[in-house]
Amino acid sequence: MNDILKMVIVLGSICTVAGLGLAGVQSVTKEPIEYQQIKFIKEPSVKAVLAGFENDPIKDRFNLPAGKDKKGRDVFQTVFPAKKGGQVIAMALDGSGKGFNGDIQVMIGIKPSGELTGISIMKHSETPGIGSRVTEAKFTDQFKKATVDNPTAVDGVSGASYSTKGVFAAVTNAVNFFKNNKQQILAQAGK
Amino acid sequence: MGLAKEFTKGFWDELPPFRLVLGLCPTLAVTTAAKNGIGMGLATTFVLACSNVLVSLLRNIIPGKVRIAAFIVIIASFVVMVELMMQAYFYPLYQVLGIFIPLIVVNCIILGRAEAFASKKGVLPSLMDGLGIGLGFTLALGFLGSARELLGGGTVFGYEVFWSSFQPMAFLLKPPGAFVCLGLILGLMNIVSRR
């Protein structure tokens, strides 16, 4: 009996200490991990759609509430502002839309005036060689001429209508969020 | 055996992947480039040294019947720590090593050292043993990684070293190439040590 008790106590206390230690490490590394994930997954896209900024859009990012999902949890939209001389010159928002094969995640750059500065596909699983052509500059560069009033007035990729629609949906999502929350976004970004 | 001997034995006599032929899963899987091999090796060294010290400290408290469970909890905690730290500060390396970081838990070098060495010896020899074996493992992985990277991709640490017409043997970067390289190194080491 004594033996079992000793085993339980020793193993139990080792587990407790390990758990506490890990909780500590986890809370310390939580923020850097979030920053790194954004930096390595979203930053290339943010840099691709924004130009001429002097701040660090990743560091200056902020979240705004964007309604609720199906399970009733709050959803947040992250905005990456680009500033030059303290002025907001553009901002990047991400949106996602259903493609042929899962969600397509797109980063969209918008100027405060409502012109688009470009889009960049962050993540997709479209068919290589067919749907994946939506990531090519020939398609994405067209958005540089678009505005928030009619963001998807561009030529689609022929043979890849589902993928094109997915990108359009993603762009429309982000643009709608921008239009509906313009005042709030500009106020937050200007801080 | 002196402390220095405990430290240096990991570099030749008990060099983990080549002499003990332990820890082959990461040895074969992540050594597609010198940098990956060394990153993996250093992560393992950290876990090995820390778990050896802790196991050695607790060796008189842990009852024999639950020692393996206790060792695994200790090792797993350090591995999760390494994983979180790597995610927080070396994200690109974490993306490459991916699943092989959590798999350090079941790396038999670490449990083997805890069971065979740290649970019987004092703290200082255990620390030296952990550092020595770990650094030996790092060097072995770095060596295998640079050999494969050099012949399979024509680069070392990402830098081009060959003339432009050099055709790298991409086969060596694939899993079978890892076995071929490992076999050649084992053979060479046997020749050298038989002399």
Number of domains in chain A: 1
Model pLDDT for residues B80-117, shown as the tens digit of each residue: 999 999 988 888 888 888 788 888 998 888 998 999 88
B91 part of contact set with chain A, CB < 8 Å: yes
Q: Are A118 and A140 in contact (CB under 8 A)?
A: yes
CA distances to A105, A107, A181, B94, B191 from A43, rounded to whole Å, are: 13, 10, 23, 17, 51
Q: Which of A27, A28, A29 would you mutate first to test chain B, the one with the most B CBs within 10 A?
A: A29
Model pLDDT for residues B114-134, shown as the tens digit of each residue: 998 898 888 999 999 999 999
Binned at pLDDT 50, 70 and 90, residue A19 comes out as very high
Residue A125 lies inside a defined structural domain of this protein: yes
Query: Across A23-27, A143-147, A178-182, which has the greatest mean pLDDT?
Result: A23-27
Of all residues in chain B, the one with the smallest CA distance to A39 is B91
Residue A31 lies inside a defined structural domain of this protein: no
Q: Are B130 and B53 in contact (CB under 8 A)?
A: yes
Model pLDDT for residues A123-153, shown as the tens digit of each residue: 888 888 888 888 888 888 888 888 888 888 8
Q: What's residue A86's pLDDT? A: 77
pLDDT at A191 over 90: no
How many CA within 13 A on the CB side of residue A72? 0
Residue A184 lies inside a defined structural domain of this protein: yes
Q: Are B113 and B54 in contact (CB under 8 A)?
A: no
pLDDT at B44 over 90: yes
Contact yes or no for A18 and B73 at CB 8 A:
yes
Q: What is the mean pLDDT of residues B157-171?
A: 76
Contacts of A37 in chain B (CB under 8 A): 87, 91
Q: What is the mean pLDDT of residues B176-188?
A: 89
CA distance B127 to A130: 56
Count H helices and E strands in chain A, helices first: 5, 5
CA angle A114, A118, A119 (to 5 degrees): 115
Helix A182-189 / helix A161-180 crossing angle, nearest 10 deg? 70
Q: Which residue has the higher pLDDT, B178 or B154?
A: B178
Contacts of B89 in chain A (CB under 8 A): 32, 36
Residue A14 lies inside a defined structural domain of this protein: no
- Counting every residue written for chain B, the total comes to 195
Helix B123-153 / helix B175-194 crossing angle, nearest 10 deg? 120
What pTM does this model have? 0.73
Contact yes or no for A10 and B73 at CB 8 A:
no
Compute the nearest-CA separation of B72 from chain A (Å). Answer: 10
Number of domains in chain B: 1
CA distance B143 to B123: 30
For residue A50, give every residue at least 6 positions away whose Cβ sits within 8 Å of its Cβ, in sequence order, or none: A57, A80, A82, A90, A91, A92, A109, A117
Cα A68–chain centre separation: 17
Cα–Cα nearest to B33, from B109, B89, B110, B92: B92
Instruction: Please count the other Cβ atoms lying within 10 Å of the Cβ belonging to residue A156.
Output: 16
Binned at pLDDT 50, 70 and 90, residue B1 comes out as low
Binned at pLDDT 50, 70 and 90, residue A1 comes out as low
SS3 A121: strand
Closest CB to B77: pick one of A22, A39, A40: A22
Residue A72 lies inside a defined structural domain of this protein: yes
- Mean pLDDT, rounded, of chain B: 87
Contact yes or no for A40 and B66 at CB 8 A:
no
Residue A167 lies inside a defined structural domain of this protein: yes
Residue A78 lies inside a defined structural domain of this protein: yes
- Complex ipTM > 0.90: no
Tell me which amino acid residue A150 is: N
Closest CB to A40: pick one of B74, B84, B92: B92
Model pLDDT for residues A157-167, shown as the tens digit of each residue: 888 889 999 99
- Mean pLDDT, rounded, of chain A: 85
**Which domain covers residue B33, as residue numbers?**
3-194
**Which domain covers residue A96, as residue numbers?**
48-189
Compute the nearest-CA separation of A125 from chain B (Å). Answer: 18
Q: What's residue B46's pLDDT? A: 94
